[in-house]
Amino acid sequence: MGFVRRHPVVTAVLAAALVVTGAVTLSAVAVWRAAHHDEARHVDRADAVVVLGAAEYNGRPSPVFQARLDHAAIMYRRGFTREVIVAGGKRPGDQTTEAEAGRDYLVSQGLPDTDVDSVSIGNTTWESLRGVADFMRGNGLRSAFLVSDPWHNLRIRRMGRDLGIEAYVSATGASAARTTQTRFYGYVRETFAYLWYRVARH
């Protein structure tokens, strides 16, 4: 107690550092655990499978995006849903939106065009999911599997539920992030992105 009285500023800084370190550590563990848990193992069916957009090149999905789309196609064919929704807007200079490119890809892979929708809204995950939530409400859809890369699971599930979607996560197991270093950076970035979202939203 004597040290605290003599050095209140140092004590406050150390306490704040402990709180921040604890928050980062707990978030990192939560992100890791969510990334390694496929909720499709426990939930048999949802109203839709939602694919979060990624880069596309003149209508051709990038490897990251294609991996997500292929995962959604597998889920559709296995009966987890009868509707796939692809999300994502257009970047400056793009000829098409991520959602349109993804929808075209899925139809080219044999999914019925009547069962694949595109929501071409948003340049951030939050904006895209908000567009999806509005689309789902307008079409009487309540529940969805959200498909992205594994380290996104915790944040997108939280966002989806905050937007009123009965959200579950089923990440692609074939991420284009092949190296340990790339995956590590993905987890680190997502830990801080999740923390920022929690702070900004609340």
Identify the sign of the CA torsion 130, 136, 137, 142: negative
Q: How far is residue 78's CA from residue 21's CA, in Å, rounded to a whole number?
A: 42
* Domains of the chain by residue range: 39-183
Q: How far is residue 48's CA from residue 5's CA, in Å, rounded to a whole number?
A: 59
CATH topology for 39-183 is Rossmann fold (3.40.50)
The pLDDT tens digits for 48-105 are: 999 999 888 888 999 889 999 999 999 999 999 999 999 999 877 778 899 999 999 9
Yes or no: say if 168 and 50 are a contact pair by the CB < 8 Å rule.
no
The pLDDT tens digits for 101-145 are: 999 999 999 999 999 999 999 889 999 999 999 999 999 999 999
Q: Quickly list DSSP for 49-116.
A: EEEPP--EETTEE-HHHHHHHHHHHHHHHTTS-S-EEEE----TT-SS-HHHHHHHHHHHTT--GGGE
